[in-house]
Every structure is written in structure tokens, then in C-alpha cells.
């Protein structure tokens, strides 16, 4: 049972990582004009200065870029929310006062390998924080108080944040300036900016800071390009206090950060019982799917083009179960929420292990031009994947290239299938079932994403499947 518990805890942390990117409001989307129930996907490009001496940007040692990509989901529900850089549960909301439980991925870090000055200095890792948030809002704006505490035993500290925000709206624009006061306790400040006796040398003396404060000012903006496409651009400046500036690790008294990106939105999913539905009878529709297949030699797009060869070096397999719920039956595409639980069958390479993949699937249907009969379905899924162990094929690939691996990666899926009723008739258990092929793909998005471990690589599995709607 302890193994299951650890896997579940790791999954929760992985979920947090894909939904949460920082406590800094610069990595959020201004949401004041987005109605409850809106679902969206997007990407952001994060830029910024590092406070550490001789390190100019927020990038990782694993990449030569000066920025970081943030893939994220956006959702504003009755109980759950994800806003690009915060995610959690709505505990209470009466229109004026609200309270939330939330989780936050902390991007603060120091990688000693980035400059020789840090030889002998220990790494300061990014971390995952959890806590509570309370807000009061009115015509005058919104005041938010947030308390966060570490969950991964990295800094073991606490942060208190007080933010004031005001929103201006036009037909297409949302402009949301904010000002924040953040208080870091001694443990948090010491972890990122202190110097221990074991790390100290003549030019990097021992330093034991007390608690510290950060004053922050910035603005979030969004522009509605079309009915569904939203662009955003945010910027902020952080002023560091003397406790931080006096650290021998720090070279600046303020830092700047920015994020630009885009998000695609779907119709409101909870506005009323039939929101966004063309066919009321499809409300509540769900499906199950089983699939089995082998590790492919070629990449996701090559398999699409018919390169279905089994991997030459690693002979491993996958067997999975997927549960799906219809979120939206659109005019051209259905939107499904899916969770797949896969068993990676690793043979003699290592013990078998579980992998879980929450994702959204966009599903289109092809019909006969003469009879309007359903002929096939094609779907494309986007989400994230957490594996209890690193798949053997990913270990082999990355070892050859001298690159790192990650349990947590981006997830892509493509599926093509055909209704069984066209072969066996409309009567029988197969009436609402489909059979076809599914490509399962784990990807690090070209080593550009911090929360995916800056992995340049992944794995592909080609499977056959049976799916039945209910």
C-alpha cells in the first residue's frame, strides 16, 4: 500500500506542476472577464532576471535559451480552478469574500553549474508550496492575502503575500495592474540566499540572513483576438530588501520578469445544464477504452506518416485503460476529458510500472456524403504524463545523448478508429464501440520547459484499441 500511496502523492505533485507555475502574478492570466466554466489550453514564454551574481536570466543549465516555456490548462469551475500559475479548490465565495486552498510551484533556484563563482555551493532547488488564500473584492478593486508553506522538504519555509489588484475592461482588452508585499520567513530566505560554513570560502563568506521582504509592482494584460483566442502579456518588477542584497550570492537589488503567450478557450461548460451542447441527449456521455501496443522506433509525427516499425533496441510494451467524459459536443469537434492508466511492460529491462495521463481530447468525425453515416473518428489529445519509473526506452535514448530524464513529461495522443456497427450491424454490444489505432507519446518539449525537467526527448508507443461509449 505504501507504494500506491507514494505514487498517488507523486501524481498530485505532478498535477500541481502542470497547473501551477509560480506565486508571482506575472505568470497568471488576467481572468476578470472570463466567465465561470470556461475551459482553455495555452502556452506562455517566461523571461526574467536572476537575482544571483553572474547569472543573467531564469533559464536552466540544460538549455542555451534565455526563457522558459510554460504549457498550462485554464479552468474556472464551481469548485476547482487553474489560472496558469495557481490551482486549487474554491472553499467559499459569496461574491465579495472568497477563500481557496491552493498549490504553487516555486521557480526560485540556483544552479551552481551556471558559473564558476558557485563552485562548492549547493544547488537551491525549485519547489512545490501549498497553502490558503483569502480575497475581498468590490468596485474599488481586490485585496488578496496568501499563505504558503513548502511541501517537498526543500526550503521548509513560509511565505506571506498581500496583493492589491484593479481591473479595467474594454471590448477586447483586460488591463490589471497590481502591487504586492511578500514576506519570506528565515528558513525560506536562508535556503535561497544564505551561505553555510561548508559552502563558504574567502570570496563567499558565511551568511545567515533573517526573514526578508519583497515589494512587487506589475501589470497583467489580455487581448481577445477572436471569440476563442486570447493573447496575454505581463510584466513585473521585484525590489529586494537588504537581507537579500547583502548575500554574497546576490548581485542585484531588483529583478524584472515577464511572460507573453496565448490561450484557446472553449464554451462555458457549467453555465447551465445544456451549455455548449447541440444534442441534449449526449449530456453525461462517457466511454471506456482498452489498448495494447509496442514501443515504436520512430517519433510521433513519423508514426503518423506510417513509420510503424517496432523499436530496434528496446522491446517493451504498454497495456492501458482510459476513461473519458464528454465535456462539449461542438459543431466540428467534440471535447473530451480523459484519464488513462497504463501499465508499462518492461520485460527484463526493469520491473513493470504504472503511468497515468490526464488530458483533453479533441475528436472529429468523418461522415458519408451520401448517407450521413459515421465512417471514422480522428482525435488529438494534449495533457501531461507521470510515470512511476522512467521507461527503459527513454533511459536508453537519453543516456546515449548524455541528457537528463524526468518522470513528469508532456503528453500527446493521436487516435484513428472506425465504428464496429458498420461491420457487424447496429444490434449487439458493439453498437457504440470503435476499434482502431492510438499513438501514445511522452515529450519534454525540446528541453525548453522547467517543470518537465528540461528533457529533450521522450518515447512513442503504437497501440491498437477498443473504445465503447455509454
Query: pLDDT band at residue 32, thresholds of 50, 70 and 90?
Result: low
Q: State phi, psi for 450 to the nearest 5 degrees.
A: -60, -45
Contacts of 340-346 with C-beta under 8 Å, sequence gap 24+, read 340/289, 340/413, 340/440, 342/318, 342/440, 343/318, 343/319, 344/316, 344/317, 344/318, 344/387, 344/389, 344/391, 345/316, 345/317, 345/318, 345/319, 346/316, 346/389, 346/391, 346/392
The pLDDT value recorded for residue 34 is 63
pLDDT of residue 329: 80
CB 276 within 8 A of CB 292: no
Lookup: cell for 158: 513560509
Question: Is residue 47 predicted with pLDDT exceeding 70?
Answer: yes
pLDDT at 30 over 90: no
* Average model confidence (pLDDT) across the chain: 84
More confident residue, 281 or 258: 258
- Work out the percent of the chain whose per-residue pLDDT is above 90: 46
Average confidence (pLDDT) over 79-107: 83
Q: How many CA atoms lie within 13 A of 28 on its CB side?
A: 25
Q: What is the pLDDT of residue 282?
A: 79
**Residue 261 pLDDT > 60:** yes
In 3D space, the residue among 52, 117, 50, 116 whose CA is nearest the CA of residue 249 turns out to be 52
In terms of C-beta density within 10 A (0-12 exposed, 13-18 middle, 19 or more buried), how is residue 262 classed? Answer: middle
Q: Which of 128-142, 199-213, 300-314 has the lowest mean pLDDT?
A: 300-314
pLDDT digits over 175-214, tens only?
999 999 999 999 999 999 999 999 999 999 999 999 999 9
Determine the pLDDT at residue 283. Answer: 76
Report whether pLDDT(169) > 90: no
Dist CA 219 CA 139 (whole Å): 18
> Could you read off the pLDDT of 212-253 as tens digits, one per residue?
999 999 999 989 888 778 898 999 999 999 999 999 999 999
How would you classify the pairing of strands 317-329 and 334-345?
antiparallel
Q: Which residue has the cell 489580455?
A: 222
* Claim: this prediction has a pTM higher than 0.85: no
**Could you give the CA distance from residue 139 to residue 144 in angstroms, rounded to a whole number?**
15
Q: What is the DSSP letter of 331?
A: S
The grid cell for 88 is 486549487
DSSP 17-82: HHH---SSGGGS---TTSPTT-EEEEEEEEEE--SBTT--SS--TT-S-S-EEEEEEEEE-SSEEE
Looking at per-residue confidence, does 85 or 68 come out higher?
68
Q: How confident is the model at residue 3 (pLDDT cuts 50, 70, 90)?
A: very low
Strand partners, 256: 237
How far is it, in rounded angstroms, from Cα 289 to Cα 432? 12
Q: What is the Cα–Cα distance from 19 to 7, expressed in whole angstroms?
A: 18
- Rounded to whole angstroms, how far apart are CA atoms 193 and 169? 40
Bridge partners for 39 per DSSP: 75, 266
> What DSSP assignment string belongs to 106-143?
E---B-GGG-GGGTTPPPB--EEEEEEEEEEEETTEEE
Residues written for the chain: 470
pLDDT in tens, 408-444: 888 889 999 999 999 998 888 999 999 999 999 998 7
The confidence band for 7, taking pLDDT boundaries of 50, 70 and 90, is very low
In the three-class reduction of DSSP (H, G, I as helix; E, B as strand; rest coil), residue 397 is classed as helix
Q: Is the model's pLDDT at 35 over the cut of 90?
A: no
> Any residues with CB less than 8 A from the CB of 291 and at least 6 apart, and which?
318, 319, 320, 322, 438, 440, 463, 464, 465, 466
Which pLDDT tens digit goes with each residue over 334-362? Answer: 888 889 999 999 998 999 999 998 888 88
- Half-sphere exposure (CA, 13 Å, Cβ side) for 11? 17
In this structure, what C-alpha cell is assigned to residue 435?
A: 476499434
Amino acid at each position: 500500500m505504501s507504494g500506491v500511496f507514494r505514487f498517488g502523492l507523486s501524481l498530485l505533485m505532478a498535477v500541481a506542476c502542470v497547473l501551477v507555475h509560480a506565486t508571482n502574478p506575472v505568470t497568471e492570466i488576467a481572468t476578470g472577464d472570463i466567465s465561470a466554466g470556461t475551459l482553455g489550453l495555452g502556452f506562455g514564454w517566461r523571461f526574467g532576471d536572476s537575482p544571483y551574481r553572474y547569472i543573467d536570466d531564469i533559464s536552466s543549465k540544460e538549455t542555451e535559451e534565455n526563457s522558459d516555456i510554460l504549457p498550462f490548462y485554464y479552468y474556472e469551475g464551481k469548485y476547482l480552478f487553474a489560472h496558469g500559475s495557481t490551482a486549487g479548490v474554491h472553499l467559499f465565495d459569496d461574491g465579495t469574500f472568497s477563500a481557496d486552498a491552493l498549490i504553487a510551484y516555486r521557480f526560485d533556484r540556483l544552479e551552481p553549474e551556471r558559473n564558476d563563482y558557485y563552485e562548492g555551493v549547493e544547488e537551491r532547488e525549485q519547489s512545490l508550496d501549498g497553502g490558503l488564500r483569502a480575497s475581498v473584492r468590490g468596485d474599488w478593486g481586490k485585496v488578496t492575502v496568501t499563505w504558503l508553506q513548502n511541501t517537498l522538504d526543500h526550503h521548509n519555509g513560509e511565505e506571506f503575500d498581500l496583493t492589491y489588484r484593479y481591473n479595467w475592461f474594454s471590448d477586447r482588452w483586460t488591463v490589471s495592474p497590481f502591487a504586492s508585499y511578500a514576506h519570506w520567513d528565515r528558513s525560506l530566505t536562508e535556503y535561497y540566499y544564505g551561505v553555510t560554513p561548508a559552502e563558504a570560502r574567502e570570496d563567499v563568506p558565511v551568511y545567515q540572513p533573517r526573514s526578508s521582504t519583497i515589494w512587487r509592482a506589475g501589470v497583467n494584460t489580455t487581448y481577445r483576438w477572436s471569440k476563442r483566442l486570447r493573447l496575454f502579456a505581463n510584466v513585473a518588477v521585484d525590489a529586494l530588501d537588504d537581507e537579500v542584497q547583502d548575500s554574497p550570492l546576490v548581485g542585484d537589488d531588483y529583478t524584472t520578469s515577464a511572460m507573453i503567450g496565448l490561450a484557446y478557450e472553449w464554451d462555458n461548460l457549467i453555465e447551465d445544464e445544456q451549455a455548449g451542447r447541440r444534442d441534449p441527449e449526449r449530456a453525461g456521455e462517457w466511454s471506456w477504452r482498452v489498448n495494447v501496443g509496442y514501443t515504436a522506433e520512430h517519433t510521433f509525427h513519423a508514426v503518423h506518416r506510417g513509420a510503424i516499425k517496432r523499436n530496434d533496441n528496446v522491446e517493451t510494451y504498454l497495456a492501458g485503460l482510459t476513461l473519458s467524459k464528454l465535456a462539449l459536443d461542438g459543431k466540428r469537434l467534440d471535447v473530451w476529458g480523459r484519464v488513462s492508466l497504463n501499465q508499462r511492460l518492461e520485460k527484463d529491462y526493469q520491473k513493470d510500472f504504472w503511468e497515468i495521463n490526464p488530458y483533453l481530447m479533441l475528436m472529429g468525425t468523418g461522415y458519408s456524403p451520401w448517407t450521413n453515416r459515421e465512417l471514422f473518428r480522428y482525435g488529438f489529445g494534449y495533457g501531461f504524463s507521470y510515470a512511476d519509473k522512467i521507461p527503459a526506452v527513454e533511459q536508453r535514448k537519453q543516456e546515449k545523448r548524455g541528457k537528463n530524464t524526468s518522470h513528469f513529461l508532456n503528453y500527446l495522443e493521436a487516435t484513428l478508429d472506425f465504428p464496429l456497427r458498420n461491420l457487424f450491424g447496429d444490434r449487439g454490444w458493439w453498437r457504440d464501440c470503435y476499434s482502431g489505432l492510438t499513438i501514445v507519446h511522452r515529450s519534454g518539449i525540446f528541453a525548453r520547459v522547467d517543470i518537465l525537467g528540461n528533457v529533450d526527448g521522450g518515447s512513442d508507443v503504437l497501440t491498437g484499441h477498443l473504445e465503447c461509449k455509454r
